[in-house]
Amino acid sequence: MPGLAADFVGIDDVMAASLGTSHLLDIGCRTVAHIAGSDVSTAFDRQAGYSMALASHNVSLSPAYIVKCKHLDRSGDAAGYRAMKTLLRLSPRPDGVFCCNDNIAMDAMRAILEAGLRIPQDIAVVGCGNVPYADCLRVPLTSIDQDSNRLGQVAGRMALSMVKRRNRSAPRSILIPARLVIRASSQK
């Protein structure tokens, strides 16, 4: 959170999104959309990484290709599902989509499949988080692995060292490297 002096353990969300978006561009996608998360720093940084990857590949797209998720609506439709429905109405239709997290990606995949399209032949999908069941989905999900176990271990050690120190020191920020795990949702 900007302006908050606190310790932090996480991944470099800008680089994670850049990695996922670049992967889509590298496999031949030319109209890569982004389904963004809600108003938190993670979502802002991932959107920045998406934009950075497009720029580094000399791809320029209308802002319409970035759809921000909102929470579940009264009908029970999930945010990623509705966002993907919006993207499917664009012309040209996206041939790739980087999703802010894996839940959003799974919702987007449902919308793609319900539209009679194929993943990844028509639209490739990349999520972020690498949920444990990502390879068990109807179409196994390519995702950015944030090494949640290591994140927890590092955060735990940091918390214990804070308790042992008892005196306030300057906030520390530790970033864990993220890696791309390629599965069927992006294997063209």
Residue 147 domain flag: yes
Residues near 33 by beta carbon (within 8 Å), at least 6 away in sequence: 61, 65, 66, 67, 87, 90, 94, 96, 97, 98
Residue 42 lies in a domain: yes
DSSP letter for each residue of 82-139: HHHHHHHTSSSPPSEEEESSHHHHHHHHHHHHHTT--TTTT-EEEEES--TTGGGSSS
In the predicted structure, residue 23 carries a pLDDT above the cut 60: yes
Look at the chain and report how many structural domains it folds into.
1
- Asked if residue 101 lies in contact with residue 134, where contact means CB atoms within 8 angstroms, the answer is no
Q: Is residue 2 part of a domain?
A: no
pTM of full prediction above 0.85: yes
In a domain, 12, yes or no: yes
Q: Note the pLDDT tens digit of each residue in 114-156.
A: 999 999 999 999 999 999 998 899 999 999 999 888 878 878 8
Q: What's the pLDDT at 73?
A: 53
Q: What pLDDT score does 148 carry?
A: 83
Do residues 97 and 50 lie in contact, with contact meaning Cβ atoms separated by under 8 Å? no
What's the pLDDT at 1?
Answer: 60
Q: Is the pLDDT of residue 2 over 70?
A: no
In a domain, 1, yes or no: no
Measure Cα distances from 18 to 22, 25, 161 in Å: 6, 10, 33
For position 97, which CATH number holds? 3.40.50.2300
In a domain, 141, yes or no: yes
Query: Is 72 a residue whose pLDDT tops 60?
Result: no
Parallel, antiparallel, or unpaired: how do β-strands 179-181 and 96-99 relate?
A: unpaired
**Residue 132: inside a domain:** yes
- pLDDT tens digit sequence for 57-70: 999 999 999 999 87
* Tens digit of each residue's pLDDT (9 = 90 or more) over 78-94: 889 999 999 999 999 99
Residue 110 CB partners (closer than 8 Å, separation 6+):
78, 81, 84
**Cβ contact 140:109 at 8 Å:** no
- The domain in which residue 53 lies consists of 8-186
Instruction: Give the model's confidence band at 167: pLDDT under 50 very low, under 70 low, under 90 confident, else very high.
Output: low
Please check whether residue 3 lies inside any domain of the structure. no
Report pLDDT digits (tens) over 31-64. Answer: 999 999 987 888 999 999 999 999 999 999 999 9
Q: 111-115, 134-138, 161-165 — which is least confidently predicted? A: 161-165
